[in-house]
Structure 1
Amino acid sequence: MEAEAGGVSVAVAIVACTAMTIFYVAILYSPTLIFRLPPPSSFKSFMIRRFVCAGISTVVSLLVCAFILPIKSWEVSYLFSAYGVRLHHTWQAVILPLSLTSLMYAGSFVLKFFSLWSSWAEHEDHGMDLSFNGLRSVFLKLINLTLSVVSNISAWRMYIVAPLTEELVFRSCMIPLLLCGGFKPYTVILLSPVFFSLAHLNHLLEFYMQQDTSLLKACMVVGFQLGYTVIFGSYASFLFVRTGHLAAPLVSHMFCNFMGLPAFFSQKTGMVSVGFVAGVLGFVYLLFPLTSPDLYNDRIDDCKCWHRYCDWS
């Protein structure tokens, strides 16, 4: 998918990204504040209402981008590729970024391994059945756990709806706008996470109101969250610019939401810190090789692409 250089002005790109950010957050409160709908009867109803609002804001953002970006053709394949939605090189866009991201959780994996090891040792001490029937019981527990997660509305928010809508709006829409507006890739990687973090400011009010806590504590908690979103947003933007593939930041987003913050210290064993440091070193060493544009796109020579494959090599 090609774009005309300078086809979007800087002012239009910034205004559009700001409007998308405000709309993405504001629409969440529209059912009660604008349409005066009655409060949802349950938490599930509340979350489903938010899912619908997030979906509407995402579709609107995609349509607005389609009109602003200098797209030469309205064919579906061209539109999708402009947003980083491509079928070719999909396995690379899933496996390689996911493997890279998992290195940051090496300490967490070490901690989990020691936890499982201790659990198995305890079972042996208590004469637990570790035969085929015992393994079958563990397998059935894993299935039940999976089913409980699938039926959990909060899990759908954390692992499906939030990552998908946020990546479509803050990566698929905003990054092409900023690049076509003339911003350099490094600037885009640092600028787009600002919009991403601002979209989480509403958590300050919600945390302050729902937790009945002090404003200072609410600011500290949300401030930490905003710092984390800026760091992750920069990384997700880096993946999107380097690969031009939505799957890359999307699977990383889902994985990070599932894992939480990386474990870098444990009082039980120092191996967690060793694993964390080793993972960070591996992450830094492989960051550019595993995100090399030629792994994700066949056309990187003498072409003008949406995500600057030629300039970002």
Structure 2
Amino acid sequence: MEVDGGAGDGVSVSVAVVACTAMTIFYVAILYSPTLILRLPPPTSFKSYMTRRFICAGISTFVSLLVCAFILPIKSWETPYLFSAYGIHPHHTWEAVLLPLFLTSLMYTGSFLLKFFSLWTSLTEQSGQQIDLSLHGIKTVLQNFINWIHSHLCNISSWRLYIVAPLTEELVFRACMIPLLLCGGFKPYTVILLSPVFFSLAHLNHLLEFYMHQDSSFLKACMVVGFQLGYTVIFGSYASFLFVRTGHIAAPLVSHMFCNFMGLPAFFSPRTRMVSVGFVAGVVGFVYLLFPLTSPELYNDRIDNCKCWHRYCEWRS
């Protein structure tokens, strides 16, 4: 494990690692505090249960951001400078949203093709029926689309998957931990491999929940959660890579939301080989464009020939 410096550089290695570990434990432990510590009565519905978790996740995120601000050797507490410590920038926002989103979507080329073939099959099966292209038919399609959006907006699970979980996890495990580890002296690529470990450990509680609530064997629970942990390590490395390369928290955030929405990439379908071909083509495109589309010059006006182009070096006294 490569480390650039020690305590003299502003944040010691031990402080950085201990702080990241504490944030991970706190992020998970606080989810169970309403019933175990505060002794509140059990939630009466799934919605109230998730609302409690949203509040707990919000509190842990705020505390992590606050603690991180005190640990990092930040020279100025002015809002723009402080926000920049977490990768929150007003500039190059569109680049930080669209380019990583396009890059991530390449991994889902097979999924897009599978969706297209499913839609095409559905249309061909209805070929004997007349497709309504009238104004009324178009209004019906639009209304169905609006109803679909409304159903997601009213679904508490959708808020968890697409908003709360990505936002809080990216702020804690990327915006807080990566600056700490970098200022602790870890090299960028070491951080990209190390920070996902904390990210995956934060999902270990799913093992207990799956084992208890799904009435599954412990072996099956371990296999399911083990697969999930492997996926979180891979995605965590990618999200960390995006944050380190772009310096924008928006880059891993939109990618996280998109991946949660799409699920696992489709790489095979018994109905058509084109899904596998599309998946391979998407992977090739992803690898080819990975570094060009995450070049720091695309997301920052000035990098001053400094490896700490996202200004982490300026925090060191």
Q: TM-score range by the shorter chain?
A: over 0.9
Contact residue 82 and residue 306 of structure 1 kept, 8 A: no
Q: 2:40 matched to 1:37? A: yes
Instruction: Give the TM-score of the pair, scaled to structure 2.
Output: 0.94
Q: Which of 147, 152, 156 is equivalent to 1:149?
A: 152
Contact residue 175 and residue 249 of structure 2 kept, 8 A: yes
Residue 245 of structure 1 aligns with an amino acid whose one-letter code is H
Identity %: 81
Provide the residue aligned with 2:201 in structure 1: 198
Q: Which of 214, 230, 237 is equivalent to 1:234?
A: 237
Judge which range, 255-264 or 298-307, deviates more: 298-307
Q: Which of 67, 74, 77 is equivalent to 1:74?
A: 77
Provide the residue aligned with 2:3 in structure 1: none
Provide the residue aligned with 2:137 in structure 1: 134
Provide the residue aligned with 1:298 in structure 2: 301
Q: 2:290 matched to 1:287? A: yes
User: What 5-or-longer segments of structure 1 have no aligned partner?
Assistant: none
Provide the residue aligned with 1:223 in structure 2: 226
Q: Which of 274, 278, 295 is equivalent to 1:275?
A: 278
Name the count of aligned residue pairs. 307
Matches within 5 A, 1:5-154: 6-154=9-157
Judge which range, 89-98 or 123-132, deviates more: 123-132
Residues 100-133 of structure 1 show CA distances to partners (whole Å, capped at 9, x for unaligned) of 0000000000001111111222233233424333
Deviation at 1:71, TM superposition (A): 0.2
User: What 5-or-longer segments of structure 2 have no aligned partner?
Assistant: 1-6
Q: What is the rounded CA distance, in whole Å, between the counterparts of 2:210 and 2:39 in structure 1? A: 23
Q: CA RMSD in A?
A: 1.5
Provide the residue aligned with 2:174 in structure 1: 171
Judge which range, 134-143 or 59-68, deviates more: 134-143
Provide the residue aligned with 1:250 in structure 2: 253
Contact residue 17 and residue 174 of structure 1 kept, 8 A: yes
Q: What is the rounded CA distance, in whole Å, between the counterparts of 2:121 and 2:134 in structure 1? A: 18
Q: What is the rounded CA distance, in whole Å, between the counterparts of 2:96 and 2:240 in structure 1? A: 14
Q: SS at 1:228's partner residue?
A: helix
Residue 141 of structure 1 aligns with an amino acid whose one-letter code is N
Instruction: Give the TM-score of the pair, scaled to structure 1.
Output: 0.95
Q: What is the rounded CA distance, in whole Å, between the counterparts of 2:91 and 2:222 in structure 1? A: 44
Provide the residue aligned with 2:192 in structure 1: 189
Q: 2:163 matched to 1:160? A: yes
Contact residue 97 and residue 239 of structure 1 kept, 8 A: yes
Contact residue 204 and residue 222 of structure 1 kept, 8 A: yes
Q: What is the rounded CA distance, in whole Å, between the counterparts of 1:309 and 1:13 in structure 2? A: 14
Q: SS at 1:124's partner residue?
A: coil
Contact residue 303 and residue 309 of structure 2 kept, 8 A: no
Judge which range, 196-205 or 136-145, deviates more: 136-145
Residue 75 of structure 2 aligns with an amino acid whose one-letter code is K
Contact residue 20 and residue 61 of structure 1 kept, 8 A: yes
Change beyond 3 A, Cα 1:69–1:117 = same
